[in-house]
Amino acid sequence: MYYKQIKELKAENFVSTGRIATGSKRGLLTSSPLGSCVAVVAYDVTTKIGGLAHVMLPGKSPKGNNNKYAENAITNLIDELKNLGASKTNIEICLVGGANVLRKKNDSIADYLINSIFEILKKKKLNVIASSLGGYERRTATLHLSSGVVNFTIGDSVEKKLYQFTSVRLRVP
């Protein structure tokens, strides 16, 4: 199995490349350092069920179910959240990562990955609420399951708040 289910965390859970972690109640889901990889953070505020996928490659795996690939990871993340009781219509997404950490002039793998993730999320009708993408420095992403707060770091910086999922939505028609 390519994901780890956490029903009730008491400590931090690190999510490495090609892995998915989901949970509810309390605890933290934290990505291992993200270079060109992207952390897809998903959360349902009505149930306080969330998850994090550490995605490495664009598109779908040519050989079976491999969560290193964007389509596999996102599909499996959303399916696992639904299995835990989340509603797809209430799931929102934050993205962190996708940097050119090797600083190669024509390196576009991170851009391909970011574009692939946006295409997949659009196809699945999932909204990206906030993101910290691109640049040249590694990042990390953390989801606090009880509060819905998503934090991130860039390089050696202190952790900053990217977004807090809340049940109050101000939707513009």
- The enclosing domain of 62 has a CATH number of 3.30.1330.200
Task: Please give the pLDDT value at position 173.
Answer: 47
Residue 138 domain-assigned (yes or no)? yes
Residue 68 domain-assigned (yes or no)? yes
Residue 135 domain-assigned (yes or no)? yes
φ and ψ of 153, to 5 deg: -125, 155
Residue 156 domain-assigned (yes or no)? yes
- Cα gap 149→62, rounded to integer Å: 34
Question: Greatest CA span in the chain, whole angstroms?
Answer: 44
Task: Please give the pLDDT value at position 1.
Answer: 39
Task: Please give the pLDDT value at position 104.
Answer: 87
Residue 75 domain-assigned (yes or no)? yes
pLDDT in tens, 39-60: 999 999 999 999 999 999 999 9
Range of the domain at 139: 12-162
Task: Please give the pLDDT value at position 6.
Answer: 44
Which of the residues in the chain have pLDDT under 70? 1-12, 167-173
Residue 1 domain-assigned (yes or no)? no
Residue 101 domain-assigned (yes or no)? yes
Q: Read off the pTM.
A: 0.90
* Number of domains comprising the chain: 1
Residue 79 domain-assigned (yes or no)? yes
